[in-house]
Amino acid sequence: MLRLIPFIRMAVVSLAVGTAGAAAAQETSYPLTIKHAYGETVITKKPERIATVNFANQEVPLALGVVPVGFARATFGDDDGDGVLPWVAARLKELGAETPVLFNEGDGIDFEAVAATQPDVILAAYSGFSQKDYETLSQIAPVVAFPESPWSTEWRDMIRLNSKGMGMAKEGDALIEKLEAEIEAVTAQHPELKGKTAMFITHLNARDLSKISFYSANDTRVKFFEDLGLKMPKSVTDATEAGKYSGSVSAEKIDLFDDVDILVTYGSPDLVKAVQSNPLTGKMPAVERQSLVVLTNSTTGNAAMPTPLNISWLLKDYAALLGEAARKVK
């Protein structure tokens, strides 16, 4: 049975079992149709057993007081190796819930494990699975897939679509308003970010810097820069292909990115030295002035990917790192 439990820490959005949950059930008309990249999903009645696949989709029901029957095991930034990121673990504790079934997606979606949880709906508004995977999941339960391109669903849309699939669209809108207020409060403390340009480079290989791969203007990490007051460099916009969340160029064309004020990437501290000493990447203006933010494989590394629960946990630290880099821009 689906569990609706009041918010404990989310003061702006207050959902109680007997009021908001019941109101949502009354206000949502069924059958409910949700359009996405693979067509339309029809949900005939309010789901009671909710499963999620791929990254962070479980955070929408959890933020709204609903404990999923199963969700994907965390692999990046999971400091204690239990498969649950700390903000997710904290929310489960607040809700008085045990950790649900964790799906191991190291080799792709574990369809048998998902089916074993007997879900009424599968939430995956932020995802990148294939149409074949979608069709397989749809044999288990109705699926809320990504709206347009793989791995490109902005955090607000992830909340809107997943909450709609739960029959809790109004609660999802209230959650978005709460998070927008938090973001506004934090960015107000970092006026140095406003108007600076930022580029997010994918994992760099310190041993081979011959190619620069980057997240495109379609990626959620890059879209999140705008929430923080940063601008998108024209170089990244021009290099973005329709429907692609990433791109790459030869390091010989590194001067294309001279309009970048701040560089953000994943990696180890040793990566900074390699980038600075490389004859090509070391000439990037952002690298020369050390406006480089390197996110390690830790909880902080998840800050760049905004999710319903990690924004409250990590935004201040992330904004501080970006602010330090921005202050070096003359």
Above 60 in pLDDT, residue 255? yes
pLDDT tens for each residue of 167-176: 999 999 999 9
Query: 117: which 2 tokens?
Result: 């949880």
Above 90 in pLDDT, residue 38? yes
**pLDDT the model gives residue 1:** 37
If you average pLDDT over residues 125-146, what whole number do you get?
97
pLDDT tens for each residue of 146-169: 999 999 999 999 999 999 999 999
Q: What is the mean pLDDT of the chain?
A: 88
User: Residues 155, 132: contact at Cβ < 8 Å?
Assistant: no
**pLDDT the model gives residue 278:** 83
Q: Which residue's entry shows tokens 């996405």?
A: 36
pLDDT tens for each residue of 226-245: 999 999 899 888 888 877 88
Predicted TM-score (pTM) of the model is 0.87
**pLDDT the model gives residue 275:** 85
If you average pLDDT over residues 246-260, what whole number do you get?
88
Above 70 in pLDDT, residue 303? yes
Does residue 40 sit in helix, strand or coil? strand
User: Residues 218, 200: contact at Cβ < 8 Å?
Assistant: no
Instruction: Count Cβ atoms within 10 A of the Cβ of residue 262 and give its class: 0-12 exposed, 13-18 middle, 19 or more buried.
Output: buried
Compute the half-sphere exposure of residue 277: CA atoms within 13 Å on the CB side of its CA. Answer: 8
Query: Nearest to residue 216, comparing CAs of 245, 243, 190, 192?
Result: 245
User: Helices marked H in 95-207 — which ranges?
Assistant: 111-116, 131-138, 155-166, 169-187
In percent, the amount of the chain with pLDDT more than 70 equals: 90
**pLDDT the model gives residue 18:** 32
Tell me how long the chain is: 330
**pLDDT the model gives residue 24:** 45
Please give the domain boundaries of the chain with CATH numbers for all domains. Answer: 17-185 (3.40.50.1980), 191-326 (3.40.50.1980)
User: Residues 326, 261: contact at Cβ < 8 Å?
Assistant: yes
Angstrom distance (rounded) from CA 316 to CA 264: 16
**pLDDT the model gives residue 328:** 95
Mean pLDDT is lowest, of 6-15, 76-85, 271-280, for 6-15
If you average pLDDT over residues 63-80, what whole number do you get?
92
Angstrom distance (rounded) from CA 212 to CA 204: 8
Angstrom distance (rounded) from CA 125 to CA 105: 17
13 CB neighbour count, 10 Å cutoff: 19
